[in-house]
Amino acid sequence: MTALGAVFRPQLPPERLRAIARLADETGLDELWLWEDCFREAGISAAAAALAWTERVRIGVGLLPVPLRNVALTAMEAATLHRMFPGRATLAVGHGVQDWMGQVGARAASPLTLLREHLLALRALLAGERVTTDGRYVRLDDVALDWPPEVDVPVLAGATGPRTLRLSGEAADGTVLTAATPPEGVRQARRLIDEGREAAGRTDPHKVVVNLLAATGPDASARLRAELAAEGVGEVPDLGVAGDAAAVAKAVRRLVDAGADTVVLQPTADEPDPEGFVRFVARDVRPLVP
């Protein structure tokens, strides 16, 4: 079955998260996703709070920028979440926005090398291995977690460009695609991911999560057009969806047909009713998505 989620966008203040997380839990939403956008809310602390406030909804963080994080700390935090809330947290790592990384003095000369080293070390640590590595960016000396997860923990990577998509297939357990990815872009991403998987000899499952910008209500089309234009993708065909539950579900199914396993509905930044958006996704759209 296709998993369906919604995004708590960090344009909302952190104190709004509790009510929305509980609503997502109560309405039966599959997944609630958070963003670690500079310089708004932090991903791990927000995820821990959302998990503690809820009982069943899965909480995703997409994504944690690896230039900001020592891989041992990422592993410790991921393991702690999964020990406390087994199987309910999904974490994705990625390059981060390079301008933001530059602002904090963490911009890497080779983001691809950094992401590769981080993914390999992170997956090994979460698997309970003792890791020694002396990479260009990631250096660990006889490091192992005292409290590794007791469940398998998939590590996802955010990816857009061809080289990062191939790397995600090779070194990650899943891929997160942005809302700037139309159905044909999902197909192309799947092909590049599969190239990386084949090169690495991987045959295990690889989850693809796709964000879909969505708006509903009387001014939905205008809000959608304005956001796509602001993001510089207003002329890209087949991006986003505005309309009722049937229209949104149809757009979700197109992404699933193109290769998405999970579709996360992303409200516009000016969504007037974030709680209403969660109810709409869980109660109106979910029944229309197989």
Write out the residue range of the structural domain in which residue 284 sits.
3-288
Q: Are 88 and 58 in contact (CB under 8 A)?
A: yes
Residue 4, classed as helix, strand or coil, is strand
Beta bridge partners of 143: 131
Q: What is the pTM of this model?
A: 0.97
Q: What's the domain count of the chain? A: 1
For the chain, the residue count is 290
Question: Tokens at residue 271, please?
Answer: 């969504």
CA distance 151 to 126: 9
Q: What is the pLDDT of residue 249?
A: 98
We report the CATH number of the domain holding residue 143 as 3.20.20.30
Q: Are 114 and 67 in contact (CB under 8 A)?
A: yes
- Strand 131-134 and strand 139-143: pairing? antiparallel
Which segments of the chain does DSSP mark as H helices, in order?
Answer: 17-27, 43-53, 71-84, 98-103, 111-126, 162-171, 183-200, 220-230, 245-258, 274-279
**Dihedral (Cα; 92, 93, 98, 103), 10-degree rounding:** 100
Q: What is the pLDDT of residue 1?
A: 80
Angular region, 9: left φ>0, alpha ψ -120 to 50, beta rest: beta
Q: What is the pLDDT along the chain (290 residues), one digit of tens a residue?
A: 899 999 999 999 999 999 999 999 999 999 999 999 999 999 999 999 999 999 999 999 999 999 999 999 999 999 999 999 999 999 999 999 999 999 999 999 999 999 999 999 999 999 999 999 999 999 999 999 999 999 999 999 999 999 999 999 999 999 999 999 999 999 999 999 999 999 999 999 999 999 999 999 999 999 999 999 999 999 999 999 999 999 999 999 999 999 999 999 999 999 999 999 999 999 999 999 98
Q: Name the maximum alpha-carbon separation found in the chain.
A: 58
Phi, psi values for residue 202, rounded to 5°: -90, 135
Give the position of tokens 């695609």.
Answer: 177
Q: Are 40 and 16 in contact (CB under 8 A)?
A: no
Query: Of 237, 215, 234, which Cα lies nearest the Cα of 225?
Result: 234
The three-point CA angle 82-290-248 to 5° equals 95
CA distance 225 to 211: 17
